[in-house]
Structure 1
């Protein structure tokens, strides 16, 4: 116990002096946590700060991490690994969503979850938009580990249910309440919204696939790479 206490104290001290980002991520006035030591300190202070790997935490979850491929609006890989993380409370809520969906043969497919702040900066500088892309002056709820981009799948076939648009379609039809769609598509979209809302997520009005966890404000912006989280 003594050794554990000394380690915890040492990490707290390191985290105090090494808690914030540096370099290019500061040019928009934000200073997200970029140090592994500082992140570990947060987790020691409160285990809810931990980023959880969703594919090992949630049964039968399917990953289709677009930013680990060329199939995204940037046209290049933004992540070196196809991984999805959320803070522990958000991950628990998403697991509850999956368990309910599984009862009717459905499940979740994840496009993106936690996103390092540097990637948010790159998105903004490419798109020059703050409707479909987060403002680098505020950061994204993805950067807090409290936002997830996803859709519904049929667990038996593994196929996506039909939705209003593809992921990251920057068009009016992507809005969460866009009305001029086939009845079956609206039904699928509304089912996703309903079950996500039930467990503490809120849909982003301009993107049917994007959901924010209700307690996102309590978590710090992060700029920790996936490689560091392994």
Structure 2
């Protein structure tokens, strides 16, 4: 009887800690464990300054097609002593709702200096930095950069991830030659492997043939 109860407990514990993803979604680690990640919205290190709703675990989830495309990019980078680093993949709708609620609280500006020093918080909607829907919620968009495997450091891209300002536009001219080169290389390698860029953020790429073009998912990341 004691052994039977122990077996039952193990089954319940396993089920409670394992998420069954919607069909078509995968954990990126299961496709390519060499791709680095730093899920910023699981931490305090983001433009709000605290973990975001819907991020229950530090793991990257994307559609299978996106994972396979990222694996192709990673294979090319590894040969050059480089690696992808993912900041965000699939994003639950409840996380987007969290952003919207935060944007309406104009007095909450604890991360303004780091993330939007020259943009009034009241203008984040009008300037397109915050929206009520995100392509991330369709599962085929990733925010990412490139890391030098020898040094362990991210390549200089001229602005930090999630910085709200023209400095983050891919073709912003008032940065040095090295970050310009790095941005162009990131853009080139992503374009060549089936992704399309976003005009306002050097780090943001969406799979061209994404499988869920009109579906916004809301399952938690765990």
TM-score if structure 1 supplies the norm length? 0.74
Report what 1:132 is aligned to.
129
- RMSD, aligned CA: 1.8
Matched, 1:210 2:209: no
Distance 2:181 2:51 in 1: 33
Task: For 1:112 and 1:149, locate their aligned partners in 2 and report how far apart those are by CA, in whole Å.
Answer: 5
Deviation >4 Å, runs of 4+: none
Partners of 1:153 and 1:66 in 2: CA distance: 16
| Unaligned stretches of 5+ residues in structure 1 | 1-35, 44-49
1:112 to 2:109 alignment: no
- Does residue 93 in structure 1 map to residue 46 in structure 2? no
How far off its partner does 1:217 sit?
A: 6.5
Q: Distance in 1 between matches of 2:29 and 2:143?
A: 14
* Residues in 2 aligned to 1:70 and 1:185: alpha-carbon distance in whole angstroms: 26
Aligned-residue offset at 1:160: 0.5
- 1:59–1:156 Cα change, 3 Å: farther
Q: 2:154 aligns with which of 135, 157, 160?
A: 160
The 3-state SS of whatever aligns with 2:136 is coil
Deviations 1:20-78 (A, max 9, x none): xxxxxxxxxxxxxxxx99x74xx2xxxxxx21111231142111111111000111111
Return 5+ residue gaps in structure 2 as ranges.
1-18, 105-123
Tell me if structure 1 keeps the 8 A contact 2:141–2:205. Answer: yes
For the Cα contact (< 8 Å) 1:55–1:63, is it kept in 2?
no
Tell me if structure 1 keeps the 8 A contact 2:65–2:210. Answer: no
Higher relative contact order (CA 8 A, sep 6+): 2
Determine which of 31, 35, 41 is the counterpart of 1:57: 31
What is the CA distance between 1:155 and its match in structure 2?
Answer: 1.4
CA distance in 1, matches of 2:91, 2:181: 29
Match of residue 33 from structure 1 = none
Alignment check: 8 A CA contact 1:62 1:108 kept: yes
Question: Is the 1:97–1:196 Cα contact (8 Å) retained in structure 2?
Answer: yes
Counterpart-to-counterpart distance in 1, 2:100 and 2:199: 19
The structure with the greater share of residues assigned to helix is 1
Report the Cα distance in structure 1 between the residues aligned to 2:176 and 2:30, rounded to whole angstroms. 35
Q: Which of 135, 138, 141 is the matching residue for 1:141?
A: 135
